[in-house]
């Protein structure tokens, strides 16, 4: 074999060995490794489930005023109402979201849509004062936005923050709203605890309940 060829082969072998020396051989992940990685991954449904009973419900119960009291203050001073019955730590450009309890009579219901709702009269005049979502499709992020211990800066980006808000709606639907009847709701009395955004124009305030029951 010519000397030049031998030198070329030797050089190639040395380069190959050098390349192997610079490589880091990673172990094959075990099932425990995979489980640990999955546990650390962003999982908004799990996050909401873990905080719902120990943190979310106590916060809402402690922050809520009656719908009459909240809406009356909001009509005269939205900021004062938000600081008292909402999230004073909200982002500056975000609208106020209020936490309230509702006791009233259902005067209209829409259960044909997946985004089902009931209209509630809370002052006894026979007219709806509030619209409550009863799922399974729930719009908005009122429950997330009402919580003063939820900080946008704790999330990687806007997408994660939005997914987190959606998970509150999913949890409320599965564990609360899905248990409500869908037939014969008109004329029934209802009790709610939830977060709502004020209506605009002729639109009713829209509440996302965290607790809901038909009162016989």
CATH number at residue 119: 2.40.50.140
Residue 16 lies in a domain: no
pLDDT number for residue 179:
97
Residue 61 lies in a domain: yes
pLDDT value of residue 89:
87
Structural domain span for residue 45: 31-215
Q: Is residue 48 part of a domain?
A: yes
Give a yes or no: residue 19 inside a domain.
no
DSSP string across the chain = --HHHHHHHHHHHHHHHHHHHH--PPPPPPHHHHHHHHHHS--HHHHHHHHIIIIIHHHHHHH-EEHHHHHHHHHH-HHHHHHHHS-TTS-TTSPP-EEEEEEEEEEEEE-SSSEEEEEEESSSSSS--EEEEEEES--S-HHHHT-TT--GGGSSSHHHHHHHHHHHHHHHHHHTGGGS--SS-TT-EEEEEEEEE---TTPPPEEEEEEEEEE-
Number of domains forming the structure of the chain: 1
Q: pLDDT 10s digit of each residue in the chain, 216 long?
A: 555 566 555 655 555 555 555 555 656 667 555 444 555 689 999 999 999 999 999 999 999 999 999 999 999 999 999 999 999 988 878 889 999 999 999 999 999 999 999 999 999 999 999 999 999 999 999 999 999 999 999 999 999 999 999 999 999 999 999 999 999 999 999 999 999 999 888 899 999 999 999 998
Is residue 7 situated within a structural domain? Answer: no
Task: Tell whether 143 is covered by a domain.
Answer: yes
- Measured distance CA(112)–CA(188) in Å, rounded: 18
Name the token pair of 189: 């009395």
With respect to residue 8, please indicate whether it lies within any of the assigned structural domains: no
Which among 85, 71, 64, 82 has a CA at the least distance from the CA of 193? 64
**Domain-embedded: residue 67:** yes
pTM for the model: 0.81
């Amino acid at each position: 074999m010519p000397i030049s060829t031998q030198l070329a082969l030797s050089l190639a072998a040395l380069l190959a060995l050098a390349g192997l020396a610079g490589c880091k051989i990673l172990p094959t992940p075990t099932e425990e490794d995979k489980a640990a990685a999955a546990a650390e991954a962003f999982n908004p449904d799990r996050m909401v489930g873990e905080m719902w009973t120990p943190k979310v419900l106590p916060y809402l119960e402690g922050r809520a005023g009656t719908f009459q009291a909240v809406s009356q203050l909001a009509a005269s001073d939205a900021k004062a109402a938000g600081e008292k019955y909402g999230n004073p730590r909200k982002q500056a450009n975000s609208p106020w979201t209020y936490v309230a309890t509702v006791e009233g009579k259902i005067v209209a219901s829409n259960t044909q849509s997946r985004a089902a709702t009931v209209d509630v009269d809370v002052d006894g005049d026979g007219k709806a004062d509030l619209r409550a979502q009863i799922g399974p499709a729930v719009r908005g992020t009122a429950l997330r936005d009402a919580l003063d211990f939820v900080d946008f800066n704790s999330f990687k980006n806007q997408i994660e923050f939005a997914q987190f808000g959606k998970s509150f709606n999913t949890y409320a639907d599965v564990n609360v709203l899905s248990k409500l009847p869908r037939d014969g709701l008109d004329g029934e009395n209802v009790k709610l605890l939830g977060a709502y955004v004020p209506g605009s124009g002729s639109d009713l305030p829209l509440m996302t309940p965290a607790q809901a029951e038909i009162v016989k």
